[in-house]
């Protein structure tokens, strides 16, 4: 990619990133008093993270079956209030076992 095509892309990216960070400060100068809006804004980071992470989960392994099993194991482990490291280790172990069983 040469500079003539890279520079416009870079400028658009900078403008979009800047607007996303500045617009909430411009439009929300007062404290948000609506409990619904506070609740909605509180869940936005988790929703965005899930929307970015879930498609990658399905493509991260050798097959969709092992990815699905790893995902289910992670959800069940998280449901039982395990911390992040045990959840990640259990889901990786589930994917490994599934992949090894699929080789047999």
- Rounded Cα–Cα distance for residues 49 and 51 (Å): 5
- Rounded Cα–Cα distance for residues 28 and 49 (Å): 23
- Rounded Cα–Cα distance for residues 32 and 35 (Å): 8
pLDDT band at residue 41 under the 50/70/90 scheme: confident
Q: Specify the pTM.
A: 0.63
pLDDT in tens, 50-72: 899 889 988 889 899 999 999 99
The pLDDT of residue 1 is above 80: no
Sorted by where each begins, the domain ranges of the chain are 1-30
Output the 3-class SS for 25-77.
Answer: HHHCCCCCCCHHHHHHHHHHHHHHHHHHHHHHHHHCCCCHHHHHHHHHHHHHH
């Amino acid at each position: 990619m040469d500079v003539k095509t890279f520079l416009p892309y870079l400028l658009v990216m900078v403008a979009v990133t800047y607007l996303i960070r500045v617009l909430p400060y411009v439009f929300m100068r007062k404290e948000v008093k609506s409990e619904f809006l506070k609740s909605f804004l509180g869940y936005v980071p988790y929703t965005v993270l899930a929307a970015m992470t879930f498609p990658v989960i399905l493509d991260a392994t050798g097959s969709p079956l092992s990815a699905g099993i790893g995902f289910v194991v992670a959800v069940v482990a998280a449901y039982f209030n395990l911390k992040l490291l045990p959840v990640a280790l259990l889901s990786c172990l589930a994917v490994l076992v599934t992949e090894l069983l699929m080789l047999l």
